């Protein structure tokens, strides 16, 4: 008989605005049940510090240069997660999958740095903590991300979604998972496509008092600057990082939109982002040689109706976009549920990444475990 585990997944994405928390019950293989989903918003100090530091850190030497600031922020983030765990009143047998806040991710330098001290979280909560999910994959030749594909496979399995199917996650970065067959994790295909919300969010954050373009309302009122749009496309097509499976938000910047009004910048960056996602999605699906007709969209970007409309305009005519919510699955908490599931797989000594998902040489174990 397969053992069921209770696991809490804590995920803070590239938007850096808060923590998604998901409590699930799973056997770590082919079943899961969502018990609780809840969002916890960072206070203004943590939010501001995350984005201030991300803008300062562009190479590995900066991690040492800003070490004191990083350590201080890491402690604040860890304490914030500890307070979440206490508020949710989980029992002592519950495993905690602690992703942390990505502050720097550069595969050329073989580093993916998340802020979050697993040992401190263990001491503060007296719970079993699984953290640092990426290091082992990188040591095994992988790029450390994306890590949700194995959970996307489980979603397709449990919800009887017709295969093959493509999952499109639009967070700060956009990424896909192609699930070809049931019960064959080695056949999974996954990669980051490019920017998701990151360019739009940065523009809004730098040019207004808002954190993001809610519903795409600002993009709806602006006008695309054709010259800047075409230049951005040309720059992107000539980029050095074409072979990357995973990106950092710092791989992209909004400097090409400088001088535009708030609304025109939002429109131009939304159109540019949608164009990249559409083109890369078409290419990935075509290269997979799978008869994929449906793309299931999850992540915060799915709430930007203008972005979704523009992505559709860039897609091949035989491919349809569908919100994952249409399957009665919350598109806001896929990643936090995934890290709850990955924590259980780590505890069972099962692989969490595969050659087709991160580029690792062999299926890789992941997640350091601290028991109390």
Residue extents of the structural domains in the chain: 5-143+335-370, 160-327
Alpha-carbon span 149 to 346, nearest angstrom:
15
Alpha-carbon span 371 to 313, nearest angstrom:
50
The model's confidence at residue 237, banded by pLDDT at 50, 70 and 90, is confident
Identify the pLDDT of residue 242: 66
Task: Establish whether domains 5-143+335-370 and 160-327 are of one fold.
Answer: yes
Whether 238 shows a pLDDT value over 90: the answer reads no
Whether 1 shows a pLDDT value over 70: the answer reads no
Average pLDDT for 107-123: 95
* % of the chain exceeding 70 in pLDDT: 99
Identify the pLDDT of residue 239: 78
Extract the runs of DSSP E, i.e. beta strands, from the chain: 5-12, 18-26, 32-41, 95-106, 111-115, 128-131, 165-170, 173-179, 189-195, 294-298, 320-323, 368-370
Question: What is the token pair recorded at 336?
Answer: 């936090």
Average pLDDT for 18-27: 98
Q: Does domain 160-327 have CATH number 3.30.420.40?
A: yes
Lowest-pLDDT choice from 132-146, 237-251, 343-357: 237-251
Q: Are 188 and 164 in contact (CB under 8 A)?
A: no
Whether 243 shows a pLDDT value over 80: the answer reads no
Question: What is the token pair recorded at 174?
Answer: 């956009």
For 151-176, how does the pLDDT look when each residue is reduced to its tens digit (9 = 90+)? 999 999 999 999 999 999 999 999 99
Strand order in the sheet with 173-179: 189-195, 173-179, 165-170, 294-298, 320-323
Give me the chain's average pLDDT, please.
95
Average pLDDT for 332-346: 98
pTM of the model: 0.96
Q: Are 311 and 170 in contact (CB under 8 A)?
A: no
CATH code at 5-143+335-370: 3.30.420.40
Whether 281 shows a pLDDT value over 80: the answer reads yes
């Amino acid at each position: 008989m397969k053992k069921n585990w209770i696991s809490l997944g804590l995920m803070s994405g590239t938007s850096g605005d808060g923590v998604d928390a998901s409590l699930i019950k799973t056997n770590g293989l082919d079943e899961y049940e969502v018990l609780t989903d809840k969002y916890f918003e960072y206070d203004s100090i943590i939010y501001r510090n995350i984005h201030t530091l991300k803008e300062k850190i562009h190479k590995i030497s900066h991690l040492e240069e800003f070490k004191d600031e990083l350590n201080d922020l890491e402690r604040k983030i860890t304490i914030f997660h500890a307070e979440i765990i206490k508020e949710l009143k989980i029992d002592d047998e519950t495993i905690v999958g602690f992703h942390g806040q990505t502050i720097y991710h550069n595969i050329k330098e073989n580093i993916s740095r998340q802020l979050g001290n697993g040992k401190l979280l263990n001491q503060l909560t007296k719970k079993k903590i699984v953290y640092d999910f990426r290091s082992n994959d990188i040591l095994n030749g992988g790029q450390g991300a994306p890590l949700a594909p194995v959970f996307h496979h489980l979603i397709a399995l449990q919800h009887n979604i017709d295969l093959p199917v493509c999952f499109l996650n639009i967070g700060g970065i956009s990424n896909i998972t192609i699930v070809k067959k049931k019960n064959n994790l080695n056949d999974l295909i996954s990669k980051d496509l490019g920017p998701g919300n990151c360019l739009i969010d940065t523009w809004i954050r730098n040019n207004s008092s808002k954190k993001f373009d809610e519903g795409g309302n600002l993009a709806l009122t602006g006008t695309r600057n054709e010259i800047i749009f075409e230049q951005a496309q040309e720059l992107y097509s000539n980029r050095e990082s074409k072979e990357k499976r995973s990106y950092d938000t710092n791989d992209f910047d909004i400097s090409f939109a400088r001088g535009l009004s708030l609304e025109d910048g939002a429109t131009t960056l939304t159109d540019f982002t949608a164009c990249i996602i559409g083109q890369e999605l078409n290419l990935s699906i075509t290269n997979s040689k799978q008869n994929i007709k449906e793309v299931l969209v999850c992540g915060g970007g799915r709430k930007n109706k203008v972005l979704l409309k523009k992505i559709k305009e860039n897609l091949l005519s035989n491919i349809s976009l569908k919100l994952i919510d249409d399957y009665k699955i919350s598109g806001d908490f896929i990643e936090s549920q995934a890290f709850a599931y990955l924590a259980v797989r780590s505890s069972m000594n099962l692989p969490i990444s595969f050659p087709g998902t991160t580029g690792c040489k062999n299926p890789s174990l992941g997640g350091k475990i601290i028991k109390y």
